[in-house]
């Protein structure tokens, strides 16, 4: 393999004997792809310069093929081709320097050659051998005159012919390098296509406008149809319930040059539908142009398994909610007619209902529209609002809560609400509770919630600020489960509780 266009056979060295073998020589000649350089402008310029430098009316760059010479460039020669046996250049290419024939009519090798006895009536000939970097003779750069030149070439003319011959080989070498590079690229592309065709996913690409220009073999194997070209052409292959929304997402991704991901049902060759995960990413060049590369991954089994698990989870959720209702009912029945248990049963019942509310956030049920802290607080505090929208307010940031945090958060604010209803602001029609949620602090990663009770009638009962069993549970939930802290401050007309919990725990 040629490494550089500067790789030339040493001047003054005859061709390699081994590469004078015709099969070996022709193989290297083919590697140069010389036939594509016929009438090449650079080679034409070299021929013209050689003719001028040597004051010759005829000149040519000749490549010797198996049966005949091929003119890559020529000046003053009318013949398209001649038989190889009568070619002067077929002799010249076997030398180490320029082959100079002052008068062909006096040369035993050529005096009866048709090119001498007939047109173009060659008398003087000088040809510099064109030898590949490995040493294979390929042809010659020659100048021809119809008049004898007993003195041959001057030293300057010989040197010029040699330099121009080297320039010809550099041009041929450049062509060869291009062919080898293209061949390597083609081989790698073919290998890549074979690899892409062997993967189980459907792989595809699109141009900057979202026009699809490549699909691997898996597309037709699975769908039995030719691939789509435009985004709208996907409609027969995408389930009617999924197509419009997915098309809008794709158009938005193309418009904004952002990654696309969606799940939808793909129509198979047998008419069945299978869930696939579609992922497409843009590849942006330095010039700003984009191409899109994507895959369709079969997730039908996973999707159906998830549907089955969701159905099971929904059934379990329903049964757990029923358990909460049963327990509340049992407590109510057991406490009936026993006044000494009324307060305890009431507290326990509201705690269980709070757990039921928290459960809705752990496993959302039909009708639940929020999975945020504000939604949880409003649900928990709704029973204490007494129909007065200003009695209980929740303001501030709307923070999403994770399943693991829902239960401790529900218990914390249930305890605060219960305590307030017994001893604090919620025990009075004039009292108010304001809950303010501050977004997580970037410095310490803590979410801050302020619970502020105002009685409207003067100081609250000391019991609202005391730390009993409920308060100890509250502290345990905040400090241990949510890795936070709280501070209680009594005021002239109420109480303020500052709660700080780790934001990552709230989202967990």
What is the mean pLDDT of the segment spanning 114-137? 95
The length of the chain in residues reads 508
363: pLDDT strictly greater than 60: no
- Domain for residue 226, yes or no? yes
What is the mean pLDDT of the segment spanning 348-353? 71
Q: How far is CA 27 from the centre of its chain?
A: 41
Residues 382 and 478 in one domain: yes
> Could you give the count of Cα atoms lying within 13 Å of 25 in the half-sphere of its Cβ?
21
pLDDT by residue (tens digit) across 449-479? 998 888 767 666 555 545 556 667 777 778 8
- Of the two residues 320 and 182, the one the predictor is more confident about is 182
Q: Which of 29-33, 108-112, 484-488 has the lowest mean pLDDT?
A: 484-488
Q: Predicted confidence band at 239 (pLDDT cuts at 50, 70, 90)?
A: very high
354: pLDDT strictly greater than 70: no
Q: Write the CATH number for 178.
A: 3.30.450.40
Q: Which of 369, 400, 417 is the last residue of a domain?
A: 369
Q: Write the CATH number for 288.
A: 3.30.450.20
Residues 32 and 163 in one domain: yes
Residue 91: φ, ψ to 5°: -85, -45
348: pLDDT strictly greater than 90: no
pLDDT at 423: 79
pLDDT at 369: 42
What is the mean pLDDT of the segment spanning 280-304? 86
Cβ neighbours for 124, distance < 8 A, ≥ 6 positions apart: 56, 101, 102, 103, 104, 144, 145, 146, 147, 148, 149
- Domain for residue 326, yes or no? yes
Number of domains forming the structure of the chain: 4
- Of the two residues 51 and 323, the one the predictor is more confident about is 51
What is the mean pLDDT of the segment spanning 74-102? 90
Q: How far is CA 202 from the centre of its chain?
A: 15
Residues 398 and 492 in one domain: yes
The residue with tokens 């990654």 is 259
335: pLDDT strictly greater than 70: yes
- Of the two residues 315 and 70, the one the predictor is more confident about is 70
pLDDT at 5: 54
Q: Which of 298, 316, 346 is the last residue of a domain?
A: 298
Residues 178 and 65 in one domain: yes
Q: Which of 49-58, 179-188, 248-257, 349-358 has the lowest mean pLDDT?
A: 349-358
Q: Predicted confidence band at 400 (pLDDT cuts at 50, 70, 90)?
A: confident
pLDDT at 29: 93
pLDDT at 162: 95
pTM of the model: 0.50
Q: Which of 32-41, 208-217, 278-287, 405-414 has the lowest mean pLDDT?
A: 405-414
Residues 119 and 172 in one domain: yes
What is the rounded average pLDDT for all residues in the chain?
85
- Of the two residues 425 and 9, the one the predictor is more confident about is 9
Q: Predicted confidence band at 384 (pLDDT cuts at 50, 70, 90)?
A: confident
Q: Which of 319, 337, 369 is the last residue of a domain?
A: 369
Q: With b meaning 16 or more CB within 10 Å and e meaning fewer, what string describes 396-410?
A: beebebeeebbbbbb
3-class state of residue 293 by DSSP: strand
> Whole-angstrom Cα distance, residue 129 to residue 161?
10
Question: Domain residues for 294?
Answer: 199-298
Q: Write the CATH number for 459.
A: 3.30.565.10
Residues 454 and 488 in one domain: yes
Q: Are 494 and 425 in contact (CB under 8 A)?
A: yes
Q: Predicted confidence band at 388 (pLDDT cuts at 50, 70, 90)?
A: low
Residues 349 and 438 in one domain: no
pLDDT at 364: 47
């Amino acid at each position: 393999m040629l490494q550089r266009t500067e790789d030339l056979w040493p001047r003054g060295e005859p061709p390699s004997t081994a590469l004078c073998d015709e099969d070996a020589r022709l193989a290297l000649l083919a590697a140069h792809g010389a036939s594509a350089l016929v009438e090449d402008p650079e080679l034409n310029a070299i021929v013209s310069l050689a003719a001028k430098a040597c004051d010759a009316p005829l000149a040519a760059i000749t490549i010797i093929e198996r049966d005949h010479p091929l003119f890559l460039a020529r000046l003053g020669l009318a013949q398209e081709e001649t038989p190889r046996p009568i070619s002067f250049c077929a002799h010249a290419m076997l030398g180490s320097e320029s082959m100079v024939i002052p008068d062909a009519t006096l040369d035993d090798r050529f005096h009866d050659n048709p090119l001498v006895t007939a047109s173009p009536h060659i008398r003087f000939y000088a040809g510099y051998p064109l030898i590949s970097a490995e040493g294979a003779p390929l042809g010659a750069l020659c100048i021809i005159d119809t008049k004898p030149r007993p003195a041959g070439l001057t030293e300057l003319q010989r040197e010029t012919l040699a330099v121009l011959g080297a320039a010809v080989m550099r041009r041929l070498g450049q062509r060869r390098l291009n062919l080898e590079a293209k061949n390597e690229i083609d081989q790698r592309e073919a290998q890549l296509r074979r690899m892409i065709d062997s993967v189980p996913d459907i792989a595809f690409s699109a141009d900057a406008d979202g026009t699809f220009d490549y699909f691997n073999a898996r597309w037709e194997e699975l769908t039995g149809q030719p691939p789509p070209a435009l985004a709208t052409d996907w409609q027969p292959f995408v389930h009617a319930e999924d197509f419009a929304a997915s098309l809008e997402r794709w158009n938005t991704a193309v418009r904004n040059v952002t990654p696309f991901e969606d799940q939808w049902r793909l129509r198979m060759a047998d008419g069945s539908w299978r869930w696939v995960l579609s992922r497409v990413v843009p590849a942006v060049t330095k010039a700003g142009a984009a191409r899109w590369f994507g895959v369709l991954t079969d997730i039908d089994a996973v999707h159906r398994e998830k549907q089955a698990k969701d159905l099971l989870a929904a059934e379990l959720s329903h049964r757990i909610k029923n358990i909460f209702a049963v327990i509340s009912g049992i407590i109510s029945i057991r406490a009936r007619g026993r006044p000494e248990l009324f307060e305890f049963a009431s507290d326990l019942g509201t705690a269980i209902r709070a757990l039921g509310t928290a459960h809705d956030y752990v496993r959302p049920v039909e009708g639940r529209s929020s999975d945020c802290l504000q939604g949880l607080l409003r649900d928990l505090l709704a029973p204490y609002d007494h129909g007065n929208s200003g009695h209980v307010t929740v303001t501030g940031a709307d923070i999403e809560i994770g399943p693991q945090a829902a239960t401790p958060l529900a218990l914390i604010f249930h305890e605060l609400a219960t305590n307030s209803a017994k001893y604090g602001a919620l025990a009075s029609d004039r009292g108010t509770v304001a809950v303010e949620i501050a977004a997580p602090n970037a410095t310490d990663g803590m979410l801050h919630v302020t619970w502020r009770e105002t009685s409207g009638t003067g100081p609250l009962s000391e019991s609202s600020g005391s730390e009993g069993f409920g308060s100890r549970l509250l502290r345990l939930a905040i400090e241990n489960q949510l890795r936070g802290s709280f501070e209680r401050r009594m005021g002239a007309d109420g109480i303020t509780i500052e709660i700080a919990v780790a934001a990552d725990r709230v989202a967990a």
